Structure 1
């Protein structure tokens, strides 16, 4: 609680400082009481019920309860640490929403010559409108004029005729394919809450991959069947702190891109909101001329009111993706996307259905064969503990293979090791620990469990029907040592290699024995051979683990002698 209060106080201090900043006062003094005003020939007023710049369409939790806010109010609330949560968000939408707000704020600030995300509502309303070149319709969830853009919706192509209702719930619009449900029921939302459509639209347009003919994906992933991994180092997951820290580091990342080789042709002040211009889905646009933090779309959709007055959505197929970036393999300068550099050419990291395995956790934490960005590094003035976070929807061909999360708490002292001179040695130690856990599984736990399942035969079968039962034990063992891996690393970082590995061997032996006992209690075994199977299985487990540890001790002794 003390750390949380300190973090909040830091943001509040910055908020008070912003209030007297001369540049901010320039916007605070603007006559926003003059609403409605005209921009680009059309009126925008507080009576515009679908405009995110003025209408309170987004539910937020504050320390006084739930209320509703406009998009400028959300950004102002984040800068002042007044937002506790967004109750309409689903789990898979949380990181994409954070990215959307961060990219939006950074581009709006940059065009005003500012870097501090602590600004008031009036500033954000004016800055966002300027970001859309004065096009008020670009911020409306529902825009009747089909030739004008709507929020995250390109102008509807005339060649497609009038849009017709095809999607009747926000979940049906979302990027997450729900065949396996993933804690989500498809089409369960009835559209009564407007922000559910906002989040679904944002998720669809900024995280979708290829999902069949006419449904192309975003540029920020490796191939249509890839996945957009969102990786970030944060002080904590409080919305305001994460937002302010991300904006600060995103400016650093933009500077690296714009002052470096910039093979994409990005421009400061380039195209920012890619739904503003008409797109009929038959051609692709180059990356050149875009702002480095551009917010893309990948589908032609339009929200409107159905016969019963509720929101519905129409969609139109596309022949090509919006951005011509296939040859880039997802390497488009996105700061949240880790890039594999252990292969040629480099490509955005794509995970399989196993998600963030211990091996990938290690590689991401220590940047082993992976290129990271300022978003995965601490700001120099950080003094507290931090957290490496990641999320990804793993995609297959026409399916979703799971929603995966990564959370690695990093104590304050360990942060200086990881991003200092102990990085290589800690990486090697973690690699050795992962290998040891895998060897105990392969040489001890798996044959022991199979011996139990098969009634202790003279020759074990490693590919028969009993392997299905083994996987239940394997999953429990893997989860057990995964949880203990990094706490063990921080605890032993200042100890000798030999002492650390000995401690780890004892820990994974405990995990293996516990998993074995659970297997014996829950898995079947031939009734006539149960006692024999148990004795044999236990001997295999203990004997293999003893041999494994003895080999390690001998190897360490030889290394010590030669040293």
Structure 2
């Protein structure tokens, strides 16, 4: 079998430049384009593949540059090709960077095995790259499975990267990666992205890896030099695992036994199970020195994303508090520029035998945030954010109680059905506050003086109460219809809502004062007296 779809020599990859023009390139040529920040996007890349692809390119660049004793990217494709080949001295023809190679030789993200062995594997061949990819959907409702019948080689490449570097446990013999906290977890990413194209972030993150290499080695016990960096170079019969002490700190892993081959020019994937994980790392709980994965300081385990995704509460912990150690790529320096920086969070939310959606969210880094990161003083930001989180929770609780009064016809006790209905109406309120949370917070923390920050906070409080009131009044149409019952239910709801805010219990003292100063006090008293 000859080598096919050789990334070092064949234009397998496509990217679009800032003008939208498409380019077909080799991997070395892509690295040159990234160095020139000439890459706008990859047209065939699916959303859930974005982080694995970025991590793959970044880790590979860092491995290559360190191996060549370089700190800056090479300027030509010829130099990149030579340095990449130097990583695989036993395969100088580029087999390890080809999608198809003889079975007993490494292919890209595919470990060698015995000649002809893949044809004895009992699993049915995967005829489409999305059948190989890591997404697990429910009855084809989310993303249709195995629909990429007329796929290009790059589609198979992206599927391979996605499977081998972010997949979890999926039944006996189908083990997940080492860079996640357990088989049903995820490989989340959280880091800063500078202004510019994809190449800016790629160069920045590769430089971060190189700058922190020794720190990662010392902290995690990797092999300082000559460790296994490209895990697919080692033959794997499915029975043995690699230890961390054998690995390079930037290692790119594989978790499944896969071989691609071509039948009449059409690619397909042959797969089988393994008896154990490729990397023995269960006790590390996903804390592997990954440049993008947040790790909890107390538990020492990697973050795992659930169905709620990156909501405002979790992002506050990641961005401002000390609950999670800052990732290597979240650290901001003067080299990142003064404007246009964003914090990017990405992950597949996984469950037991399923995925619960791709999650991605961006937070603009304001001037106050940038200065706090540069100085290491983020406590004031955390306090401002946590104060707002507590207030939103308290207002939601008041709103929920008012909705229970509305749907319960003014009765003091509410059935489970009424509570569930109130939840359905109160949840969109919190979701809307989640959506605008950081935009509103930045107005306050970027204000130039203490007085200006207090004014911004009070304006936010007034707007928050107004938005909650709109949710309540919109729910009136779903309350009782009979005139007497409708009046009683709506009056009870208003009494609970205004009374709860007017009481000013912690943490709503400031909100009660602000609304009273704005003339709401007389209105509240009138409503309560009418009830």
- Shorter-chain TM-score above 0.5: yes
* Shift in CA distance, 395/237, structure 1 to aligned 2, threshold 3 Å: farther
Contact map agreement 1:301 1:315 (CA 8 A) in 2: yes
1:539 to 483, 488, 495: 495
1:402 is the counterpart of 2:388: no
Q: Distance in 1 between matches of 2:382 and 2:8?
A: 47
The answer for the alignment partner of 1:530 in structure 2 is: 486
Contact map agreement 2:321 2:378 (CA 8 A) in 1: no
TM alignment of 1:507-526, pairs within 5 A = 507-521=463-477, 523=478, 525=480
Contact map agreement 2:399 2:472 (CA 8 A) in 1: yes
The answer for the alignment partner of 1:335 in structure 2 is: 291
Q: Distance in 2 between matches of 1:222 and 1:183?
A: 25
1:412 to 367, 374, 377: 367
Q: Distance in 2 between matches of 1:438 and 1:105?
A: 45
Q: Distance in 1 between matches of 2:250 and 2:22?
A: 31
| Larger displacement relative to structure 2 (237-246 or 226-235) | 237-246
Tell me, which stretches of 5 or more residues in structure 1 are unaligned? Answer: 1-41, 558-563
* Shift of residue 73, structure 1, vs aligned partner: 1.2
The answer for the alignment partner of 2:99 in structure 1 is: 141
Deviation sequence 1:325-353 (CA, Å, 0-9, x none):
0011111111211110133xx11112322
* Shift of residue 441, structure 1, vs aligned partner: 0.6
The answer for the alignment partner of 1:469 in structure 2 is: 421
Q: Distance in 2 between matches of 1:328 and 1:55?
A: 39
1:189 is the counterpart of 2:153: no
* Shift in CA distance, 552/472, structure 1 to aligned 2, threshold 3 Å: closer
1:389 is the counterpart of 2:344: yes
Contact map agreement 1:76 1:120 (CA 8 A) in 2: yes
The answer for the alignment partner of 1:560 in structure 2 is: none
SS, match of residue 212 in structure 2: helix
* Shift in CA distance, 415/372, structure 1 to aligned 2, threshold 3 Å: same
TM alignment of 1:279-294, pairs within 5 A = 279-294=236-251
* Shift in CA distance, 390/64, structure 1 to aligned 2, threshold 3 Å: closer
* Shift in CA distance, 422/267, structure 1 to aligned 2, threshold 3 Å: closer
TM alignment of 1:179-218, pairs within 5 A = 179=138, 184-218=143-177
* Shift of residue 499, structure 1, vs aligned partner: 4.1
Contact map agreement 2:348 2:355 (CA 8 A) in 1: yes
Deviation sequence 1:441-478 (CA, Å, 0-9, x none):
11x111122222233223223xx124443343233212
Contact map agreement 1:168 1:191 (CA 8 A) in 2: no
Contact map agreement 1:454 1:526 (CA 8 A) in 2: no
Contact map agreement 2:96 2:108 (CA 8 A) in 1: yes
Q: Distance in 1 between matches of 2:332 and 2:142?
A: 33
Q: Distance in 1 between matches of 2:507 and 2:320?
A: 28
SS, match of residue 243 in structure 2: coil
User: How many residue pairs get matched?
Assistant: 502
Contact map agreement 1:191 1:197 (CA 8 A) in 2: no
The answer for the alignment partner of 1:245 in structure 2 is: 204
* Shift in CA distance, 525/65, structure 1 to aligned 2, threshold 3 Å: farther
Contact map agreement 2:118 2:270 (CA 8 A) in 1: no
1:271 is the counterpart of 2:228: yes
Q: RMSD between aligned alpha carbons? A: 2.5
The answer for the alignment partner of 2:309 in structure 1 is: 355
* Shift of residue 545, structure 1, vs aligned partner: 1.8
TM alignment of 1:21-420, pairs within 5 A = 49-62=4-17, 63=19, 65-135=21-91, 136-143=94-101, 145-157=102-114, 162-163=120-121, 165-179=124-138, 184-236=143-195, 238-258=197-217, 261-306=218-263, 309-343=265-299, 346-381=300-335, 382-420=337-375
Q: Distance in 2 between matches of 1:495 and 1:188?
A: 57
Q: Distance in 2 between matches of 1:176 and 1:236?
A: 30
1:437 to 392, 400, 417: 392
Q: Distance in 2 between matches of 1:212 and 1:435?
A: 41
* Shift in CA distance, 551/205, structure 1 to aligned 2, threshold 3 Å: closer
The answer for the alignment partner of 2:433 in structure 1 is: 481
Q: Distance in 2 between matches of 1:182 and 1:133?
A: 46
Deviation sequence 1:297-331 (CA, Å, 0-9, x none):
0000111124x642211101011000010011111
Q: Distance in 2 between matches of 1:320 and 1:67?
A: 41
